[in-house]
Every structure is written in C-alpha cells, then in structure tokens.
Chain A
C-alpha cells in the first residue's frame, strides 16, 4: 500500500458521530475531535448520547454510547440531524445509529468487532459488512483492534490493555480524513496523563498509527477541510450547558457580592451543575448536597434569608418535590434561583432524554396564587447568560426565579466566548441598611415593589418572616381579607413589572407578514436552521424565540398580531402555545408539537412550515 496525494474537499459543515460500547471511550474520542475542530477555528456543537444504564450488557443495543459533534465554518446552531461520518466500534452501535447516517455517509467500522456472537447480540441476522446492506454508504472496514495491538507491540503493551486504545486509532483515522494536526492532542495527553507518562505515550502512538494507516487506505479518496468560522475575536472555550449554568451562577454571586449557596440533590440531567459548583470552593461557593430535593431547596431558602445568593438545581421530578418550598420563597419574598434541567416525563419518564414538558409546572405548579419569574436558556453557551440573569432578576426583585434548561442543552456543548466579569450587567439587590429606623419587613420599592433584604446579624433589623400571610409593610401575621387580596396582587404585580427590566422580544426576518414561527428554550437551533433553509429557498417566514417566559417581553402581543399565522413549535403537547393563547386570545395561533424525547428534525419543521404557508 502506498501513500497517495489526495484532493481536498471543502465542506461548510460536517456531522460526525462516534458510537460504540459504553466502555469503548466514545465520549473521550468525541471530545478530542471537538477540541481539534475548535483549535482549527470551527464553530461547533456537541451532544453525548449515553445509555441510562451505567454498564449495560456488552455489545447490545442497550449498551451503545455515542458522541455527536457538528463542526462548521459558519455558525452552528444544532448538533445536526443526520451524520456525514459515523465511527462504529461494534455491530450494536452500527445497528443503533445507521438511521442517523446520510446517504453516502462515511462509515468507519472496526471489522475485528464483527464476529458471529456480536453480530447476533446486535440483532443482525447476517454480517452487515459482508451482506451488501451498506452499499448506500462509503464503508471503511478496518481491523482497528488488531492494528491497535500491533502498533503497541514494540512498547510491550499487553494485548488486552492495548485493545482498550482502539478508540484512539479510530480518532487518528478521522484526524487524517479531516487533515487535522496531531500536536494539540499530544499536548492534551501529556497534560491529562501527567502522572502516568506511559499512558500518554500509548495514546500518542495509537493516534499516530491510526493517522498513518488512513493514509494508506485507497478508499479514502479525498480529505475534508472545514474552514475556520468567522467568530467575534476573543478567547473561546467549548462549554456544556450545565457547566455554563454553574458559571453563570458563580459570576452572579461574585458580581452581587452575596456569595453562592447551592442546596441540591443529584438527578439526571442536572447533577453536573452540582458537581461543577462544588469544585469552586476557592470562589467561596458553599455547596450542600442535601438528603432530598426538599431539603435542597429549603436549605437554599435558609441561606437566602441569611443573605446568600441561593440556588437549587434539579430536573422535573425534583421540581415537583420543591413545589411547596417555592411557595415559601414566594410568600417570604426571598430571592432564589431554581434551575430545572428538563427531561422526559411524567414521573421518572425518560431520564436521559430531553423535553420541554415542565413549562406548566414552572408557571403554575404550586398551591395558591404563586407567580415566579420564569426564564429559559436556548443554547448550551447562553445557559451562562440566563443563569446570570435569573440570579440578577431574582435578587433585584426579591422573588424566586425558575430557569429552564434541558438535557440537550445541559449535556450538549457549544463554543463560549470568555466574558469578563467587569463587562457583565451590575447586580444591586435591595439590601437593608443597618439601624435603619424606618425598616419594615414588607416595605416596598415603589418601582419594583421589591421588599428589602434584611440580613441576620445586621444591627437594628430583627424581624420575622414565614409562610403565613403577612400584613403589607409591617409583616405582622394576619388573615385580613383585603390585605390578602392586596398581597396576592402585589406579588403578582412585582413579577409582572420585571417586564420593565428585560429586553424587548426580537423578530428574525420580516417584522410582519404571513407566517411567524414561535419557539422558546432549547429548540432555537433546530428551528433557526429550518427557517434558514426556508429563507434560502425564497420563502417569506419570520422567527421569534422566547427566553423570557414570565413575564413575557412587553412587545409580545404586538409581534404576534403582526402576522397572519403564528405557529408555536415546542417539545411538549402545547404548553407555551396555550400560555400565549391565555394572554393573547387569537384564532390564528397554530401549534406543532413533538414529545418523543428527541429534538426537532429540520425536515419535519420545514414540512410543517410549508404546509402552513400553502394552506389558505
């Protein structure tokens, strides 16, 4: 076999998915591939797709773990519907993922992993590598396991240990196909395996062997090049939504000088926020892993009363448990950020899959008249911004705020431009002054209606608050009917007035016309991409995407009324659409819903959009 000179094929974007057994190291190779794309200046989005079982039986479909990455020279909004390249380390992973391959996609498979037993376990009746079922694809069969072992023979590495590095061999092949330098990964190995230089060496050798091997494969006729994206200058990193959320909270704590307290109980897919925050003791973050979600939020309420920027993080089932305590934070008018990383429900539902089905719960899921601010992030990296804003609004307006993200945003990653704390908006909570003779627990700011935050330990401000209804201003316990009505109104009005402090809603595309697509939260990427496709095809269609849910931006009604048809797309049975209909009862609000634990596909969206455009 000889090395060839190959033509370079320029691509605007490519979707690559690494799939294999949960133990095959697919997350690791996927992450390294993403880093290499980032270093090359591409924009990107990633999503890990792992089984909910920690160690499902080997070589079964249930045990397949994957990592998808979408890289491009233009802005990337989603992790991509269909893949250009799939790296499959065993039959089960190929079988489970073939449906995500584009026609003509490159399939890189480890032929050594295809024997009678594994083929049978995957549910194939014949070997897909031999039975011509894959002729629609560019199939690259490589004896990856064997070649990995051989490449390490000189180092005297035991076969079993050697074969564990086969993911690096496959990655090496991809690096060749994408014309990526190996150096950055070498540097990464040196850093990661500082304590075990031998491991760093093994990884380097195998990665390079994969690279060199690909160079000898004739079936690889060209190499792919994805140019650098035109991104704003600055320092970037690749960040997952959960880490971005944690950082947004930390940033708000530092900016407000109130110090962060988190009370939380582990739950997929929110746990990473807890794990990230607890790393940052040097930033003063106090993290309390409670005995359950109720204790998590109640400890946060205690910490909030004591003057901390308090938060609690969870997913749907945990939000259910927190309901009563959210009511306590509402009636005591204490700041509190509640992050709900949504997953498929009801009950335990689909823990590792994503949905937008907790919107009603966030808006309405409590006893009594119990409004809270509700915000939703829409990309992995803007989880930072919205977590920061959730904390800011909650503290400045002295009322809890629910931040909705979801499993896709939380686990997925995108590029994040490093901010500077000085450039983030100021946060000025209404902290009561020591020895203020006029202090009253429920005296309010005339603009925001927020009461003052009187922090225990401060001279001259002793007071009691609690879950019983209080007299406005004085805070004395009372069941007076008119006072209750007043307090109900004040708490609602306080939240409504947050609309004066958030940006107006924006429309992408014409500001009036035939069809407006409405979306909120984690679906921005898919819907934006679908609309881009329609616009390129000459269709007139506009998009407005909501991040501020309660209250809605003040110009919402005006926007909705400027279009003949409005289509609200969301991953639930129609919660946001009904919320809009409640406030803007208009007959022309249509809905498009999907509740499969999967994101929207671009083609299903464009199909629906076209249908609405055609119907008269």
Chain B
C-alpha cells in the first residue's frame, strides 16, 4: 500500500472493517446509493494505517449527512450547509486528525456554497465525500444546484429553469487542488479515489454520483449504468492515455485548445495522438476541460482528475505559529501583561 504523506498518527495494529462499524441502525432507503459509499469507507479506513481514534467525520444536514452516525469514529453531525467550516475548525484545532466530510449537493453547493468555495480556496487538508444525487433527498425531492435543466421534480413540476453546476469546474474555479469523480456502483473506483484523497495534502473533493432511488432514480443512469458505461464513461489514470469505449478504441485528443474524441486506427490516429493524463499538473487548464466533458458529444470523465501540490491552510497555520514562537519574546500571558506601555503606581 502507498505511504500516506501527512501528519496523522499511525498505528501498527491491523484494523478491520468491524473497527469502524457503528452500533447505529443505518436508516437510508433500501437501494440508496449511500449504502455502497458507506461500504467503501469501511473498506478504506482500516487500511489507511491511522489510529482509529484519529478519524473525525463531519457532516451537514441531508440524507448523506447522516453518514457520521454510521461509522465508529469521532464525528459531528452539524447544521445544513456548514460541514466545511466545522471541519476546518476541527482540522485547524488538531491537524493530526484525518478529517472527512460527508455532504450532499444541496448541503455543499446551495446553502453551503460559500463555505465550499472558500474551504477549497484555502486548501484545508480535509477529504470531502460529496454525495451528488442531483436532488434534495431528505426534504423529499426538490431540485438542487446539480439537477439538470428542464428536469421535473417536486419543486419544478414544469421542469427546472436553472443551469446546474458542474462540480469539477466549480472546484477548480475555486482553485481546488484535488478533484475526483466516481460512480456509486463501482467499489474499486470508490476505494481508489478515497485512498488518493487521503494521500492528498489539501482539500480533496470526491464527487460521488449517488443514486436516490426514491426522488431522482436513475439520475446517473445514462452514464454509469451497465448499458451506457462503455460509451459514456471514461475512467482516467495518471500517466496513461485517455481511452474509453467497449474495446478502448476511442480516446481524447488535444486539438489546439479543444479536446476531441478520436478513434484509434481511423484517419491515421495512433495511441501517440491520445492525451496522456497528468493529474499532478499544477495548471488546471486540461483538468477543467476534462471535468466539463459529458454526453452527448463526449463521455463523462471519472477517476482522479486533479491532484496538484500546494501548501495547505492548516500547515501554514502551524508554520506561522512556529515562527511566532521563535521570534516573539512573549511566550506566555505574564509576558504579554508586562509588554508595551506600562507604569508603576506605588
């Protein structure tokens, strides 16, 4: 297993899935995509090598935000939209914790949109599982900031008239350093992305295409279902040419400043023409283009799209404090009381 490069205290004890199972009854609907995400987390956490007491889960409000109750770690179930600042507080208070956020598309992009972009901009070292079911589940089916235009929901009986966010584009527009997109029906992809997110120093956003079987069933069907995934799902890997299709005969080529779909062997296209993915590229240009792609003319891109190295907010906080302690003669309150303009009255 890869070495995870951050400051969370590690353990030599081999942990099990059972170390993270909580005694709470999981109350998501049968068939909800959230169950699979929980299974992935229970698979990933014991393998990260951290002490089990060093995990802290934070969430907002929504079906997805019930997550912390279902994992046996330290956890705080917050208020709607505010998981990101709560998590920021936990991480800055104790940077030796592995902090994970569970949030919904409404929680993080509507009511919590402001916190979402600012947390990403600061690059606080937390891992965010963004359950994108393109709907407000808990409040029973109103449209969300990711619901596609024209979609009929409980609060848009005549179809929505709003342009949805593309989460990857938003993340990178906010100077995000890590973005991955994964489907809820592929445990391998989920666990891989979670490992990478944990490894990454900075705000890691994983957009999880999650199915809400009750209020937005099959919202992602056109892309991630068995019958559509070959054509519409393109799973990318760092350092490899970006190929897709049933027999991996199609690929993405950079033509000028645009991406285009090409076919190997057609019009003299060879593997050398295909764009090779570099998720570590500090320049987000190509990453944004990849995040934006989607049907009908392109496949949707999955996997870790961006993972760039930038200093994290919490590391910088510690660094400034270290410098402050080094440079200032005021090491405790009694020094502060004596500093500045004071005079004695006898």
Contact = CB atoms under 8 A, between A and B. Distances in A.
Nearest to B337: A418
Interface string B52-89: 11101111010000001100111111110010111111
B200 to A, nearest CB: 20
Given A458-B53, A466-B77, A286 B92 contact: yes
B90 interface: yes
Nearest to A43: B345
A423 to B, nearest CB: 10
Contacts of B327: 282
B97 interface: yes
A283 B331 contact: yes
A281 B331 CA distance: 9
A263 interface: yes
Given A41-B345, A282-B327, A456-B56, A464 B75 contact: yes
Interface in A229-280: 231-238, 247, 250-251, 254, 259, 261, 263, 280
B79 A300 contact: no
B24 interface: yes
Interface stretch (B178-186, B188-196, B277-285, B316-324): B316-324
A539 interface: no
A303 B89 contact: yes
B92 A299 contact: yes
B345 A457 contact: no
A465 B85 contact: no
A307 B333 contact: no
A299 B346 CA distance: 45
B218 interface: no
A17 interface: no
Interface string A328-341: 10001000000000
B94 interface: yes
A420 B334 contact: yes
A310 B53 CA distance: 21
Nearest to A263: B89
A513 interface: no
Interface in A157-194: 188
Nearest to A255: B333
Given A263-B89, A291-B115, A307-B93, A462 B53 contact: yes
Contacts of A477: 24, 69
A467 interface: yes
Nearest to B65: A466
A465 B82 contact: no
B96 interface: yes
B297 interface: no
Contacts of B323: 281
Given A232-B345, A286-B317, A298-B82, A463 B93 contact: no
Contacts of B76: 301-302, 305, 332, 464-466
Nearest to B115: A295
Contacts of A327: 79
A476 B118 CA distance: 33
Interface in A290-340: 290-292, 294-296, 298-308, 310, 324-325, 327-328, 332
Residue among A282, A310, A420 having the largest count of chain B Cβ atoms under 10 Å: A282
B82 A283 contact: no
A307 B114 CA distance: 26
Contacts of B118: 290-291, 295
B227 interface: no
A292 B333 contact: no
A459 to B, nearest CB: 5
Contacts of A231: 345
A266 B115 CA distance: 16
B56 A306 contact: yes
Contact of A300 (B89, B96, B114, B341): B89
B344 interface: yes
Residue among A231, A288, A302, A460 having the largest count of chain B Cβ atoms under 10 Å: A302
B94 A456 contact: yes
B342 interface: yes
B321 A419 contact: no
Residue among B22, B96, B118, B337 having the largest count of chain A Cβ atoms under 10 Å: B337
Contacts of A263: 85, 89
A459 B53 contact: yes
Interface in B323-343: 323-325, 327-328, 330-334, 336-338, 340-343
A4 interface: no
A35 interface: yes
A235 B87 contact: no
Contacts of A38: 343
A299 B52 contact: no
A161 to B, nearest CB: 27
B21 to A, nearest CB: 12
Majority DSSP secondary structure for residues of A touching B:
mixed
B85 A467 contact: no
Contacts of A419: 337
Contacts of B91: 302
Given A237-B342, A291-B114, A328 B78 contact: yes
Nearest to B72: A462
B294 to A, nearest CB: 30
Contacts of B73: 462
A263 B78 CA distance: 16
A235 B88 contact: no
A475 to B, nearest CB: 10
Contacts of B97: 306, 456-457
A277 to B, nearest CB: 12
Nearest to B329: A282
B115 A421 contact: no
A419 B332 CA distance: 13
B333 A254 contact: yes
Contacts of B337: 235, 418-421
Contacts of B59: 466
B247 to A, nearest CB: 47
A382 B257 CA distance: 64
A218 to B, nearest CB: 35
A180 to B, nearest CB: 14
A233 B79 contact: no
A39 interface: yes
Interface string B89-112: 111111011000000000000000
A236 B114 CA distance: 44
A238 B341 contact: yes
A461 interface: yes
Closest 7 CB pairs of A and B: A302-B89, A466-B77, A281-B324, A282-B328, A299-B89, A306-B93, A295-B85
Given A457-B74, A462-B74, 17 more contacts: A38-B343, A233-B346, A237-B342, A259-B93, A280-B324, A282-B331, A283-B331, A283-B332, A286-B317, A295-B84, A421-B332, A421-B337, A456-B53, A461-B53, A462-B72, A466-B76, A477-B24
7 contacts: A261-B92, A281-B320, A305-B74, A324-B79, A328-B78, A420-B334, A466-B76
Interface of A: 35, 38-39, 41, 188, 228, 231-238, 247, 250-251, 254, 259, 261, 263, 280-284, 286, 288, 290-292, 294-296, 298-308, 310, 324-325, 327-328, 332, 418-421, 456-468, 476-477
